[in-house]
């Protein structure tokens, strides 16, 4: 989640509190009527803003009206004010607005002085596909222009490598938004909330409207993998507006697994490098958006290079999809010659050198117009930070190479499966249902029931034991067993619904039991030869949840036994390797 908090305090205006904006959205945040009849100069508007929109297609901007909303005009243009519009062609904000995270934007509300019927409105517009988190607004302030106002517009990190170095430098860009000159003041920065580094800008005088970038002489160590949050600010003692004095950015030396890149947002992923000529799009019969290039004698190679990833773990797996199809229509598969290849290369030194990990050639490639999936275990590189490069070499012919779904699969210990059940109304009825829920965020998920169904909810059920295998977006699977029971008039059941998850487990599993009435019960865990490993007793229990810990036990089959006033139910629990 990018927009997970307000810029300050606990409240902010956002496009959606609980998710992404809508396709084909056109929405406004409109101010009340504002009276500037006493102003002799146009006032300025300033606010904190954060953006996460589809680049080139979803955008936001600010408008002003001097006739109480009858007509509207756009406020400012790219290159004016502070952090104002990062799309200079259309004069609006898109993508991250040009500055990652919360940042301050400011401009003049031209033509509003001496007007008593002013309104401003923030406008957001999206197209018909690809949604993201949207826009957040906070700290909105409209006031007269100030004499003394130094603003920090951006802060940037300069590193010897994209993976960080022991001597990275930080620069802060400053803008004099006041009507008076300013100079001789201090600037400072802090890394991850640590002690501030304070330096003076020296013999520099900023006239009104001047911009100046100061590079700190004190460096910081970014050689340890991780995310570095840089907070930089100006310490101008006469400043009349402090909210725009500070700017924050983050510098990530490596991306954590699991990693998923399907190119569906149409943009080059942050930190990735694509060779000239590569397009991200859906074309020549590709099933979705892919990264592709037309390889022939005029373009004999292409490269897609990831950001630094890691540290890797022993169970991590690289997977990717590729396909070769003939130019121009893409309707025919390409037969590779001895000179054609796709080489998957790995760097352990931040891209200085690469070694081949896998090679696609005419010997192992099956010509097809479908995408081919390749999986490469990365266990031998556990603990390493890697950069992965897909390098294609042309030998003969004229064809497209598509790359898609470049993933580093790392399975969670558990998908945290649970089930909401509706029991059948009688022993002969088939009106029960089971709905599966996942606590792990690695969706979207697919479902496969023991009945062959592939839905989240299974309905029309009678008594019985049902199982569902849930698979996340990275291919990690987990199976949940649910037993549907009813109260029998011949032998009233004391033990109701039983849920055991995860199952199989790599360590711990949770047993949830519902009893049909208050009972004295025992919960037992037994090994394959019947030895008791765990037991807990309950008095007058109605329901309970119990942790079953197999972390110190070997892989294999275990038995979970529930005993309630003479009634016994047994469930199987598998400890995976």
DSSP-derived 3-state class of residue 252: strand
Strands in 457-461's sheet, in edge-to-edge order, are 417-422, 432-438, 457-461
Q: What pLDDT shows up at residue 492?
A: 53
| Residue 267 resides in a domain | yes
Q: In CATH, what number is assigned to the domain containing residue 400?
A: 2.60.120.200
Last residue of a domain, one of 409, 430, 463: 409
Q: Which tokens go with 187?
A: 């600037």
For the ranges 297-301, 430-434, 528-532, the maximum mean pLDDT occurs at 297-301
| Residue 32 resides in a domain | yes
Render pLDDT for 346-358 as a digit per residue (tens, 0 to 9): 999 999 999 999 9
The arithmetic mean of pLDDT across residues 297-303, rounded, is: 98
Query: 90 with 157, same domain?
Result: no
Mean pLDDT of the chain: 92
Q: Which tokens go with 258?
A: 């699991």
d(CA 406, CA 387): 13
Q: In CATH, what number is assigned to the domain containing residue 207?
A: 2.60.40.10
Q: What pLDDT shows up at residue 529?
A: 67
Instruction: Determine whether 26 is exposed, middle or buried from the number of CB atoms within 10 Å of its CB (0-12, 13-18, 19+).
Output: exposed
Q: In CATH, what number is assigned to the domain containing residue 122?
A: 2.60.120.260
Query: 369 with 464, same domain?
Result: no
Looking at the DSSP bridge assignments, the partners of residue 521 are 538, 564
Q: What pLDDT shows up at residue 490?
A: 36
Query: 107 with 232, same domain?
Result: no
| Residue 306 resides in a domain | yes
Last residue of a domain, one of 409, 438, 459: 409
Q: Compute the residue count for the chain.
A: 577
Query: 248 with 203, same domain?
Result: yes
Query: 334 with 386, same domain?
Result: yes
d(CA 60, CA 74): 11
Q: What pLDDT shows up at residue 491?
A: 42
Render pLDDT for 539-569 as a digit per residue (tens, 0 to 9): 999 999 999 999 888 888 888 989 887 677 8
Q: Which tokens go with 490?
A: 């011949």
The arithmetic mean of pLDDT across residues 394-398, rounded, is: 98
* Residue of higher predicted confidence among 334 and 160: 334
Q: Which tokens go with 515?
A: 């009893």
Render pLDDT for 193-227 as a digit per residue (tens, 0 to 9): 999 999 999 999 999 989 999 999 999 999 888 88
Query: 267 with 210, same domain?
Result: no
| Residue 104 resides in a domain | yes
Render pLDDT for 26-78 as a digit per residue (tens, 0 to 9): 999 999 999 999 999 999 999 999 999 988 899 999 999 999 999 999 999 99
Q: Which tokens go with 517?
A: 């009435």
Domain count, the chain: 4
Query: 340 with 427, same domain?
Result: no
Query: 241 with 180, same domain?
Result: yes
| Residue 446 resides in a domain | yes
Whether the per-residue pLDDT at 487 is higher than 60: the answer is no
Query: 349 with 460, same domain?
Result: no
Last residue of a domain, one of 143, 164, 186: 143
Q: Note the pTM of the prediction, 2 decimals.
A: 0.65
- Residue 181 belongs to what domain range? 150-252
Strand boundaries in 296-431, DSSP class E: 301-305, 317-326, 341-347, 355-360, 372-377, 387-393, 399-409, 417-422
Query: 313 with 181, same domain?
Result: no
Query: 374 with 226, same domain?
Result: no
Query: 224 with 277, same domain?
Result: no
| Residue 6 resides in a domain | no
| Residue 271 resides in a domain | yes
| Residue 429 resides in a domain | yes
């Amino acid at each position: 989640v990018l927009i997970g908090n307000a810029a300050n305090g606990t409240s902010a205006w956002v496009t959606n509190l609980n998710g992404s904006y809508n396709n084909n959205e056109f929405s406004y945040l409109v101010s009340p009527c504002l009276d500037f009849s006493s102003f002799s100069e146009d006032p300025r508007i300033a606010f904190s803003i954060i953006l996460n929109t589809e680049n080139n297609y979803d955008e936001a901007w600010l408008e002003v009206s001097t006739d109480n909303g009858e007509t509207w005009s756009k406020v400012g243009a790219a290159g004016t004010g502070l952090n104002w519009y990062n799309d200079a062609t259309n004069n609006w904000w898109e993508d991250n607005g040009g500055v990652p995270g919360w940042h301050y934007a400011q401009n003049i509300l031209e033509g509003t002085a001496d007007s008593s019927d002013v309104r401003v409105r923030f406008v957001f517009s999206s197209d018909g596909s690809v949604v993201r988190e949207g826009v957040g607004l906070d700290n909105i302030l409209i006031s007269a222009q100030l004499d003394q106002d130094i603003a920090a517009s951006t802060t940037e990190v300069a590193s010897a490598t994209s993976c960080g170095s022991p001597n990275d430098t930080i620069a802060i860009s400053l803008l004099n938004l006041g009507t008076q000159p300013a100079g001789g003041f201090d600037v400072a920065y802090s890394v991850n909330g640590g002690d501030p580094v304070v330096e003076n800008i020296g013999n520099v005088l900023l006239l009104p409207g001047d911009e100046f970038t100061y590079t700190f002489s004190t460096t910081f160590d970014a050689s340890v993998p991780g995310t570095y949050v840089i907070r930089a600010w100006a310490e101008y003692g006469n400043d009349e507006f402090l909210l725009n004095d500070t700017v924050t950015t983050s510098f990530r030396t490596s991306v954590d697994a699991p990693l998923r890149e399907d190119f569906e947002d149409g943009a080059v992923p942050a930190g990735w490098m694509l060779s000239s000529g590569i397009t991200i799009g859906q074309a020549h019969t590709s099933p979705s958006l892919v990264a592709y290039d037309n390889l022939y004698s005029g373009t004999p190679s292409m490269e897609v290079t990831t950001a630094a990833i890691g540290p890797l773990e022993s169970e991590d797996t690289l997977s990717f999809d590729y396909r070769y199809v003939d130019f121009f229509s893409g309707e025919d598969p390409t037969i590779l010659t001895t000179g054609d290849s796709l080489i998957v290369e790995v760097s352990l030194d931040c891209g200085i050198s690469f070694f081949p990990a896998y090679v696609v050639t005419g010997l192992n490639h099956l010509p097809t117009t479908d995408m081919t999936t390749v999986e490469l275990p990365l266990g031998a590189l556990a603990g390493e930070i890697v950069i992965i490069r897909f390098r294609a070499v042309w030998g003969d012919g004229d064809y497209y190479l598509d790359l898609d779904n470049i993933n580093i699969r790392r399975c969670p210990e558990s998908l945290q499966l649970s089930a909401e059940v509706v029991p059948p109304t009688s022993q002969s009825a088939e009106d029960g249902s089971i709905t599966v829920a996942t606590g792990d965020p690695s969706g979207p998920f697919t479902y496969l029931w023991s009945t062959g169904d592939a839905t989240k909810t299974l309905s029309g059920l009678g008594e019985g034991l049902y199982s569902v295998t849930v698979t996340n977006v990275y291919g990690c699977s987990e199976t949940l067993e649910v037993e549907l029971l009813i109260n029998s008039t011949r032998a009233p059941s004391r033990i109701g619904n039983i849920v055991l998850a995860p199952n199989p487990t790599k360590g711990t599993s949770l047993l949830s039991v519902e009893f049909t009435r208050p009972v004295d019960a025992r919960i037992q865990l037994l090994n394959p030869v019947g030895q008791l490993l765990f037991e807990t007793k309950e008095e007058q229990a109605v329901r309970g949840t119990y942790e079953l810990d197999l972390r110190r036990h070997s892989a294999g089959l275990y038995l979970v036994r529930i005993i309630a006033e003479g009634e016994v139910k047994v469930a199987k629990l598998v400890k995976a390797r």
